[in-house]
Structure 1
Amino acid sequence: MNQENTQIVAAFYKFVSLPDFAEKQEPLLSFCLAQGIKGTILLAAEGINGTIAGSSQGIDAVFAYLSSDRRLADLEYKESYAQAPPFERMKVRLKSEIVTLGLPEVDPNQQVGIYVTPAEWNKLISDPEVTVIDTRNEYEVRIGTFQGAENPHTQSFREFPEYVQHHLDPNQHKKVALFCTGGIRCEKASSFLLAQGFSEVYHLKGGILKYLEEIPATESLWKGECFVFDERVAVSHSLEIGSHELCFCCGHPISDKDKASPHYEEGISCPYCFEQLTEEKRVRQQEKWRQYQLLQGQE
């Protein structure tokens, strides 16, 4: 990796009461721009959520700025690295929720499940009385999940409450353990379940990424790879870059097996979008792929 051009990518969130969140938008945006930082930060009354990229000095400056607000003094972030800038511009957006469940009244600042560290996670999910649920979306679950975990088959986090309504019962499911990529979705989902009357709810602190970082592959109950929302596409144990790529047409993560499918055509389609590929769309996609190759200097 070319260290001179390496960008630090910092992902972070915190559920914390920020009634003045709108007032923070412009000063935070101006500060990030002054540091040469790009990415997206979401602000809401329930907290902050963001992924930003830039130089080591710029990232440090932004977190020093954020921590000057005592409510964000203990804000933690996960670092990864990119060889090229992963974002085109800097955005600070005001939202009703920092992760969209579609129920703003669900407030992790009021109640949240029991945090479980990666070191404690294996024992918890090996308990036959515990119902383990992956709170991520279908395309994420498909490439990897924890052994024995239930897949809600959701296309977005907004669908999670409907899944709970039809598949879970607080009188039957006495212990529920939730997990997601970095911790934010399962933390909010735990608050939702508690509000629905579930009494014993756990969630993986730091998410799958923290688990893969800390737990050796020889002791791991994770199967497959973990989708990430950056240029790495997916990671495996020790956060090594995985084997998946993104379909140029639909953006779905695809494996070598997917690329061996007769429905895969580089730049045009994959097994997950082939059925929606009309002839008109194929022509448009061929032109997009041609333009992309020209920009990459491949033609």
Structure 2
Amino acid sequence: MTWTIVALYRFVSIPDLPSLRAELFEFAQARGIFGTLLLASEGVNGTVAGSAEAIGELVDELDRRLGVRQGEVKYSKADDRPFARLKVRIRPEIITMRAPEADPTRQVGTYVAPADWNALLTDPDVLVIDTRNRYETKVGTFENAVDPEIDSFTEFKDFVREKLDPARQPKIAMFCTGGIRCEKASSFMLAHGFSEVFHLKGGILQYLEDVPASESRWQGECYVFDGRTAVGHELSQTESWLRCFGCGSPITREDETDSRFEPGVSCPHCFDRLTPERASALRMRQSQMAKGQR
């Protein structure tokens, strides 16, 4: 079976989260869908996989309830099932920043279409920032982009406060995997006095799909949060990187030969902090996922 994957989000006010959570879980489960949907009062965010028909029905349902097509909806394919189970969870935020002033339902920066992004990358007056985590940026990024070297998105606001100044850097352009992080980051920066804030509409994934490789200023591959680990232009799955399902870090083929690597459990990056309880839970998950793919 070829799996259809959809990554989606929309910032929109949601009043009754418990009821919506229960109804969406039942809807997706009945259609054999796997992956994660996050719900918060500020909107919906998630990546799920299933048959093309099932995913189409789910997107239709989310659009009917939440107008998700007014946000971002991105499709791709995978040969193997990319998620072990279905999760629909309520969270305080659909992308955690812990900055109440960052409210994309009230204000966001200027969206930039992928076709126009290269012009910003070469504009000497624009500071281009990668809003992703350091384990993602090591797989690939845009040329000349600033890497904040953060371990979680919540640290981005500290980077802004400590390293940037609206008087010195008035024009900012940001990007992330699918657009959600830089959209929220743009709201945060506008709230802190940055006057011109741009962000890549649809994120890196839309850029890699729309912009021909011959014109691309992307360097490397794009880390994705599913079993494919990384994709290249036209969103084709690449073979250069694997993903440690224990910690999420991208790993190389060389890392696979390390004694600290155990499929689905650990890698050289997380082995030293892995507790016996965590290792046991991950081994059980790995076993269940293997059974589900048979």
Q: Same fold (TM over 0.5)?
A: yes
Partner Cα separation in structure 2 for residue 110 and residue 259 of structure 1: 46
CA contact (8 A) 1:6 1:82 kept: yes
Residues 118 and 204 of structure 1 are in contact (CA less than 8 Å); yes or no, is this contact kept in structure 2?
yes
**Residue 104 of structure 2: which of 108, 111, 116 is its match?**
108
Q: 1:115 to 1:97 in 2, by over 3 A?
A: same
2:249 counterpart letter in structure 1 = H
- Partner of 2:183, secondary structure, is helix
Alignment pair present for 1:267 and 2:286: no
Q: Pick one of 47, 58, 63 that aligns with 2:54.
A: 58
1:121 lines up with 2:136 in the alignment: no
Shift of 1:252: 2.0
State the partner residue of 1:10: 6
The number of aligned residues is: 282
- d(CA) in 1 for partners of 2:41, 2:241: 36
Measured after TM superposition, the shift of residue 171 of structure 1 is 0.8
| Residues in 1 aligned to 2:69 and 2:204: alpha-carbon distance in whole angstroms | 24
User: What is the aligned partner in structure 2 of residue 237 from structure 1?
Assistant: 233
244-253 or 50-59: bigger deviation: 244-253
In the superposition, the TM-score normalised over structure 2's length comes to 0.86
CA–CA distance in structure 2, aligned partners of residues 34 and 270 of structure 1:
35
Question: What is the alpha-carbon distance in structure 2 between the residues aligned to residue 267 and residue 185 of structure 1?
Answer: 31
Q: How far off its partner does 1:214 sit?
A: 1.0
- CA drift of 1:40 comes to 1.4
SS at match of 1:68: helix
Query: Structure 1 residues 264 and 178 mapped into 2: Cα distance closer, same or farther (>3 Å)?
Result: farther
Q: Does 1:252 align with 2:264?
A: no
Aligned to 1:178: 174
- Alpha-carbon distance in 2 for matches of 1:271, 1:71: 42
Distance in 1 (alpha carbons) for counterparts of 2:246 and 2:33: 29
Any residues of structure 2 matched to 1:134-283 within 5 Å, and which?
134-242=130-238, 243-247=240-244, 250-256=247-253, 266-267=261-262, 272-273=269-270, 276=272
1:68–1:191: structure 2 CA closer, same or farther, 3 Å change rule? same
| Secondary structure of 2:76's aligned partner | strand
Higher relative contact order, chain-length normalized (CA < 8 Å, sep 6+): 2
Asked if the contact 2:76/2:235 (under 8 Å) is kept, the reply is no
TM-score normalised per structure 1 = 0.84
Deviation string, structure 1 residues 126-183 (Cα, Å, up to 9, x no partner): 1011111000000001111110111111000011111111100011111000000000
Which of 14, 28, 38 is the matching residue for 2:24?
28
Name structure 2 gaps, 5 residues minimum: none
The 8 Å contact of residues 97 and 104 in structure 1, kept in 2 or not, is answered as no
Q: Check whether the contact 2:260–2:267 (CA below 8 A) recurs between aligned residues.
A: yes
Per-residue deviation, 1:65: 1.6
**Counterparts of 1:246 and 1:57, CA distance in 2:** 28
Note the residue ranges of structure 1 that are not aligned, 5 or more in a row: none
What whole-Å deviation, never above 9, does each CA across 1:55-92 have from its counterpart, x for those lacking one? 11111111222222364463542112222332233222
Deviation string 1:184-203 (CA, Å, 9 cap, x unpaired) is 00100000000111000000
Give the AA of the match of 2:144: G
Where 2:70 maps in the other structure, the secondary structure is coil
Contact 2:241 2:251 in 1 (8 A): yes
